[in-house]
Amino acid sequence: MKRISIKWKLTILYTLFMMILVCITWTLLLSLSNREILSSVKQQLKDQVYGSFDELEYEDQTLDIDSDILNMENGIFLSVYDGQKKFLYGKIPADFPAAPALKNDELHTVSANGITWYTFDSKHTLNGYGDVYIRGILSVTKTEASITVLIRMSLFIMPVLVILAAVLGYFIIGKLLRPVNTMIHTVLEIQESEDLSKRIPGTKTQDEFYRLAECFNDMLSRLETSFQREKQFTSDVSHELRTPITVILSHCDYLMEQGTLPKDCQKELEIIQQRASNMAKMVSQLLLLSRPNPNISPLNVESINVSELTEMVVEEERIPAEVKQIQIYAEIEPAIKTAADQALLIRLWVNLINNAIQYGKEGGRITVTLQKTNTNIIGAVMDDGIGIEPEDLPHIWQRFYQADPSRTSEQSGAGLGLPMVKWIAEAHGGHIEVTSTKNIGSKFTFFIPIRNL
Ligand code: ADP
C-alpha cells in the first residue's frame, strides 16, 4: 500500500466503501423486502376477497356471480361457496389440496405437493339469499420465486454497478489529481534544469491545489531571490578580493626577483606567495561557481578537439607530478571532437589530475583515459593514492567540503575543485561519477554528450 499512488489508493478505498455500502443495503433490502412483500401479498389477498363480494347479486330468486371472479387478478384464485360451504363458482388451483374447512376472516397457510398457499375466507350475508363465502387462494411459492429472481438479478447487477462506479471513480479522481501531477512535473523540471525561474501553472478552479501551487511558487520566488543574492554576494566578494591578491602576488614577485632578502625572510615570503596564489585560485573558482545557471546564460561554446586538449593538459601536469615521482599514463583516443567551452574543459581536466597528484602516493601512477561512444565523451582519471572513505563520497561534490582537512596540504584548494568539475560536466549536459577505495585509489569518470555546432 505504501508504494501505491494516491489515485489508486482513493479508488481502492472508494470501491471498498461502495462494496460495504452495497452489501449493507442489499442485506437490509433483502430482509425487509421479503417481509414487506409477503405482508403486502397477504393484504392484497384480503382486499381482493372483500372486494369480490361486489360481484355477487341476488335478484329474482337467482344468485348472479360476475365472471370477473375468474380474472385471477394478481394471481389470486377466487371461489364462491354457499352458506353450507358448497362450491358454487370460481377457480381453484389444480394442485390445491381438498379444500380445508372454510372459516370466516381467517388467513391460513396450506402446503401440498411442495407448494405453499395462502388462503383467506370471508363470509357475507346477501339479502334474501343468506350466507355466502368467498375464498381467495394465492401461491406463496410463486411469490417467493419472484423474490428469488429479484435477488439473483441484484446479485449480478450490484457487482456490475460497483465495477462501473470504481472505473468512473478512477477517472474522476485522476482528473481531480491532475494538478498534482503537473506540480510534480514542474518540480522535476526545476530539479533537472536547476532553473528556479520556472513556476507551477495555476489551476482553473481556485481550490486547495490552486493555493498549494501559489504557496509553492511563492517559495520558489523567495528561493530564487536568496540564491541570486548569495551568488551576487560571492561574485562581488571575489571581485573585491582579486585586486588585493594580485597586488600581494606582484609585490612578492618583485621582492623575490630582487634576491636581497635574508634566507629566512625569503622562506616566509615563499609561504606568503604560495598562500596568495592558492587564494587567487580559490577566488577564480568562486567567481566561476557564482555564474548564473548555464541554461540561462550559455557557455562560450566552440568546436574543439578534446583529444588534443587532453594531451596538452597531461603534458603540463607531468611537471607537478614529477615532484612526487608520479607517472602519468595517457590512453587518449585521437580526434575526439565536440562543441564545448574550451577553458572550462581544461579546468575540468586540471582539477581532476591535480587532485590525483595531490592525493596520490609518492612514486605512484595516474592513468588518464579519453574515449567516445556514439553519444558521449567519456573521460577518466585514476590514481593509486589515499582513496576516499565511503561516508565522505556523497559529500565531496559540496562546496568547501574536504574529506579530511588534516591530510590536505598547503597546495590544496578550499574544497572547490570537485564542485567546479561537477558544475562544468553538468553545464555541458553531462555528469560525473566516482569510485574510490581507501588506501587503494580513486577513479573519477565524466560523461559529456557529443554536440556539433
Ligand atoms: P580540495 O581543494 O580539498 O582538493 P576538492 O573539491 O578538489 O577540494 O576535493 C574535495 C575533497 O575530496 C578533498 O578534500 C579530498 O579529501 C577528496 N578528494 C578529491 N579528489 C581525491 C582523490 N583523487 N583521492 C582522494 N581524495 C580525493
The per-residue pLDDT for range 342-358, each reduced to its tens digit, is: 989 999 999 999 999 99
With the most atoms of ligand 1 within 8 angstroms of its CB, the residue from 282, 353, 358 to mutate is 358
Q: Which three cell numbers stand for residue 230?
A: 548569495
For residue 337, the model assigns a pLDDT of 95
State pLDDT tens for residues 133-153.
999 998 877 777 777 787 788
Instruction: Give the span between the Cα atoms of 401 and 238, in whole angstroms.
Output: 19
Model confidence, pTM: 0.56
Does ligand 1 have an atom closer than 6 angstroms to the CB of 364? no
For residue 294, the model assigns a pLDDT of 55
Residue scoring higher pLDDT (114 or 11): 11
Return the residue whose CA atom lies nearest to atom 25 of ligand 1.
387
Average the pLDDT over each of 157-161, 283-287, 381-385, 403-407 and give the range with the smallest value: 403-407
Residue 352 Cα to ligand 1 middle (Å): 9
Is the pLDDT at 204 greater than 80? The verdict is: no
Average the pLDDT over each of 93-107, 120-134, 254-268 and give the range with the smallest value: 93-107
Residue 385 burial (10 A CB sphere; 0-12, 13-18, 19+): buried
For residue 41, the model assigns a pLDDT of 81
Does ligand 1 have an atom closer than 6 angstroms to the CB of 402? yes
For residue 439, the model assigns a pLDDT of 92
State pLDDT tens for residues 48-85.
999 888 888 888 888 888 888 888 888 899 999 988 88
Does ligand 1 have an atom closer than 6 angstroms to the CB of 360? no
Residue scoring higher pLDDT (258 or 364): 364
Q: Which three cell numbers stand for residue 280?
A: 587567487
Provide the b/e sequence for 306-329 (b: ≥16 CB within 10 Å).
Answer: bbebbbebbeebeeebeeeebebe
For residue 58, the model assigns a pLDDT of 85
Is the pLDDT at 257 greater than 70? The verdict is: yes
Residue 396 Cα to ligand 1 middle (Å): 7
Is the pLDDT at 407 greater than 60? The verdict is: no
Does ligand 1 have an atom closer than 6 angstroms to the CB of 403? yes
pLDDT tier, 299 (very low <50, low <70, confident <90, very high otherwise):
confident
For residue 326, the model assigns a pLDDT of 96
**Closest ligand 1 atom, CA of 419?**
6
For residue 350, the model assigns a pLDDT of 94
Residue scoring higher pLDDT (243 or 400): 243
> What value does the mean pLDDT of the chain take?
87
Q: Which three cell numbers stand for residue 379?
A: 573521460
Is the pLDDT at 100 greater than 90? The verdict is: no
pLDDT tier, 115 (very low <50, low <70, confident <90, very high otherwise):
confident
For residue 450, the model assigns a pLDDT of 95
**If you average pLDDT over residues 438-444, what whole number do you get?**
95
Q: Is the distance from CB of 358 to CB of 395 less than 8 angstroms?
A: no
**If you average pLDDT over residues 114-141, what whole number do you get?**
87
Residue 418 Cα to ligand 1 middle (Å): 7
Instruction: Give the span between the Cα atoms of 35 and 39, in whole angstroms.
Output: 6
The two counts, helices (H) then strands (E), for the chain are 8, 14
Is the pLDDT at 104 greater than 70? The verdict is: yes
Does ligand 1 have an atom closer than 6 angstroms to the CB of 415? yes
> Which sign does the torsion angle of CA 200, 206, 207, 212 carry?
positive
**If you average pLDDT over residues 176-182, what whole number do you get?**
85
Is the pLDDT at 398 greater than 70? The verdict is: yes
Return the residue whose CA atom lies nearest to atom 21 of ligand 1.
355
For residue 200, the model assigns a pLDDT of 82
Return the residue whose CA atom lies nearest to atom 17 of ligand 1.
403
Residue 319 Cα to ligand 1 middle (Å): 20
For residue 412, the model assigns a pLDDT of 57
Does ligand 1 have an atom closer than 6 angstroms to the CB of 357? no
**If you average pLDDT over residues 20-29, what whole number do you get?**
85
- Percent of the chain exceeding pLDDT 90 equals 37
**If you average pLDDT over residues 232-251, what whole number do you get?**
88
**If you average pLDDT over residues 7-16, what whole number do you get?**
88
Q: Strand pairing of 106-112 and 115-126? A: antiparallel
Residue 429 Cα to ligand 1 middle (Å): 23
* Nearest of 449, 441, 422 to residue 433 by alpha carbon: 422
For residue 8, the model assigns a pLDDT of 87
Residue 348 Cα to ligand 1 middle (Å): 13
Q: How many CA atoms lie within 13 A of 263 on its CB side?
A: 0
pLDDT tier, 393 (very low <50, low <70, confident <90, very high otherwise):
very high
Does ligand 1 have an atom closer than 6 angstroms to the CB of 384? no
- Percent of the chain exceeding pLDDT 70 equals 95
Q: Which residues lie below 8 Å from residue 242, measured CB to CB, with a gap of 6+?
A: 280, 283, 284, 287
For residue 9, the model assigns a pLDDT of 87
**Closest ligand 1 atom, CA of 441?**
24
For residue 281, the model assigns a pLDDT of 82
Is the pLDDT at 409 greater than 90? The verdict is: no
Does ligand 1 have an atom closer than 6 angstroms to the CB of 385? yes
Does ligand 1 have an atom closer than 6 angstroms to the CB of 383? yes
Is the pLDDT at 34 greater than 80? The verdict is: no
